[in-house]
Each structure stands twice: as structure tokens, then as C-alpha cells.
Structure 1
Amino acid sequence: MVRMVQCVKLKKEAPGLDYPPYPGEIGVQIYKNISREAWQNWTSIQTRIVNENRLNLADARARKYVKQQMESYLFEDRDVEAQGYVPPSA
């Protein structure tokens, strides 16, 4: 059976994640309040942020930056995107 959540990002009820996708309290908050669709949207943005900014995730500052962007995107209803990213034209 699919677990439904009231997604705070998409502002609708949608299928939830199967498990907390991130360690600690923030992972539990994501699990309870973010839909699978919103999380997939975030992971695409996260990949672009890491690639476009050439971040090294072994660096604690880079991980902190990505986490701040994640929280802004998922919980503060901000549009987050990699600096300089241009979406492919249709």
C-alpha cells in the first residue's frame, strides 16, 4: 500500500517516500512532509547544484551549502537552482 503525505512543497496530497532519505531529524521531517515527486524534483536540482558549482561533497562546507539549499527548496517554498544553469530548450 502506498503511504500518502500532505506535501508541504507541492501543497497537495501525494505518495510519500518509503523511508527517510536523509540522516537525522531533517530526514524524518522530509519523510513525514515531502512527497516522492517533490523529493525527485529536489534530487535533480541537487545534482545540478553540485555539478554546476563543482562542489566536492567530501568538503563539509559544500555539504552544508547543499543542505541549506535543500531546506530552502523543500520547506521555505523557494525556487532553488544552480547558478548559471540554463535548462535545455524544448
Structure 2
Amino acid sequence: MARTVQCVKLKREAEGLDFPPYPGPLGTKIWQSVSKEAWAEWLGIQTRLVNENRLNLADSRARKYLAQQMEHFLFEDGTIEAQGYVPPSA
């Protein structure tokens, strides 16, 4: 049976993650209160942020920036999108 959480992003009960997706206390917080659906949404945004901003993940400033954006998106009800990103047309 799937584990469920009260997702802070979706504002409803949903299937939880199988394991903490991030190290440390923040990873535990995400695992306890973010659903698979919301995490998948964040991963898409993160990919666009990395690509559109040409972030080098070996750079600690880029990783810090992504962590801040992740917390804003997941826990502060923030809307984030990569500058210059244009979604594919239907």
C-alpha cells in the first residue's frame, strides 16, 4: 500500500515519496510533507532552471540557488519558472 502525505504544495492528501529526495533535515521535511506529484512538478521546473540559466551544478552558488528556489516552490506557495522558458505549443 502506498504511503500518503498531506501535501503542502497540492493542499490535499496524495501519494508520498518512497524516500527523502534530498539530504539532511530538508530532505526529511520534503519526504514527510511533499507528494510524488508535487516533487515531479518541481523536478521539471528544476530542469528548466538549470537549462535556461545554464547553471553549473559543480558550483556551490548554483546549488544554493536551486535549493532556495525549491523551498520557495514547495513550502512558500511560490510560482517559479525559468526566465525565457516558452512551453511547447500544442
Range of TM-score over shorter length: over 0.9
Q: Are 1:73 and 2:60 counterparts?
A: no
* Equivalence for 1:63: 63
What whole-Å deviation, never above 9, does each CA across 1:20-53 have from its counterpart, x for those lacking one? 0000010000000000000000000000000000
Note the residue ranges of structure 2 that are not aligned, 5 or more in a row.
Answer: none
SS at match of 2:13: strand
* Equivalence for 1:2: 2
In 2, Cα distance between equivalents of 1:26 and 1:80: 19
Q: 1:89: Cα distance to partner? A: 1.1
* Equivalence for 2:14: 14
Query: What residue identity is the alignment partner of 1:33?
Result: S
Q: 1:72: Cα distance to partner? A: 0.3
Query: Taking structure 1 as the reference length, what is the TM-score of the superposition?
Result: 0.99
After superposing on structure 2, the runs of 4+ consecutive aligned residues of structure 1 that deviate more than 6 Å are none
Query: What residue identity is the alignment partner of 1:25?
Result: P
Query: What residue identity is the alignment partner of 1:24?
Result: G
Q: Considering only aligned residues, what root-mean-square deviation do their CA atoms show, in Å?
A: 0.4
Q: Are 1:45 and 2:79 counterparts?
A: no
Query: Taking structure 2 as the reference length, what is the TM-score of the superposition?
Result: 0.99
Q: 1:16: Cα distance to partner? A: 0.1
In 1, Cα distance between equivalents of 2:86 and 2:77: 21
In 2, Cα distance between equivalents of 1:48 and 1:72: 16
Q: Are 1:83 and 2:83 counterparts?
A: yes
In 1, Cα distance between equivalents of 2:4 and 2:70: 21
